[in-house]
Amino acid sequence: QKEVEQNSGPLSVPEGAIASLNCTYSDRGSQSFFWYRQYSGKSPELIMFIYSNGDKEDGRFTAQLNKASQYVSLLIRDSQPSDSATYLCAVWGQGGKLIFGQGTELSVKP
Amino acid sequence: GAGVSQSPSNKVTEKGKDVELRCDPISGHTALYWYRQRLGQGLEFLIYFQGNSAPDKSGLPSDRFSAERTGESVSTLTIQRTQQEDSAVYLCASSSRTSGTYEQYFGPGTRLTVT
């Protein structure tokens, strides 16, 4: 089992819809959780981090964390074509480093 | 303020040559990380520094790879006797590790092509 798992996609949503990106992790001791966005040919860019159970909202983005289910998600409301990118989930575990998932490719169609 | 910078942005080298990649972290960030990303693949952890020491070198693929950091600032990743499979984007990230949340900020990367 991979330490951090994401569906590779591509996930295709129409413009204006809600995009839902999901991530599961194996280390129950994980403490902090991150979402990065990576445009093609660019480096990852931090979007949000969350470390408490529940929801955290920042503009059109909402991160959701459920430690009991070892599940973290990212919702993007009112999706725009400019949101088309690969979204990386990362988990800070007891090993002292960030573990990245393989990423989910999101395509927002006009 | 200034972000993480890396140089060169692109490097083309012949198989068997040595290359040095440089990373300048965000000022004041004590932790520095190196990753490799092959085309269409995810991030592969290589090594991280806390200050000038490297507690975790577990990701270095072979003894051809080495890294150092001086003055709790600049880091260099050296690849000796490069091979074609070393072709990738090498990403550096830094983190303050004092915020309690450990978020990392990435540089633009160095695209290495071994011919």
Rounded distance between C-alpha atoms, residue A75 and residue A39, angstroms: 18
Residue in B41, B104, B108 nearest the CB of A98: B104
State the smallest CA–CA distance between residue B75 and chain A in angstroms: 18
Q: Which two tokens stand for residue B37?
A: 């990303």
Rounded distance between C-alpha atoms, residue A7 and residue A105, angstroms: 9
**DSSP state string for B4-56:** -EEE-SEEEE-TT--EEEEEEPPTT--EEEEEEE-TT---EEEEEEETTEEEE
Nearest Cα residue in chain B from A88: B42
pLDDT value of position B55: 82
pLDDT value of position B89: 98
Pick the closest to residue B91 from B22, B35, B28, B23 (CA basis).
Answer: B35
Asked if B40 is an interface residue toward chain A (Cβ–Cβ < 8 A), one would say no
| CB B90 within 8 Å of CB B112 | yes
Q: pLDDT tens digits for A8-17? A: 889 999 999 9
pLDDT value of position B58: 85
pLDDT at A31 over 80: yes
Asked if B102 is an interface residue toward chain A (Cβ–Cβ < 8 A), one would say yes
pLDDT value of position B98: 66
For each successive 10 residues of chain B (115 residues), what is the average pLDDT?
92 98 94 93 91 87 95 94 97 81 90 98
- Under an 8 A CB cutoff, do B55 and A96 touch? yes
Q: pLDDT tens digits for A35-53? A: 999 999 999 999 999 989 9
The residue among A98, A99, A104 with the most chain B CBs within 10 A of its CB, best to mutate, is A98
Q: pLDDT tens digits for A64-104? A: 999 999 999 999 999 999 999 999 999 987 666 788 999 99
**Binning pLDDT at 50, 70 and 90, where does residue A1 land?**
low
pLDDT value of position B101: 63
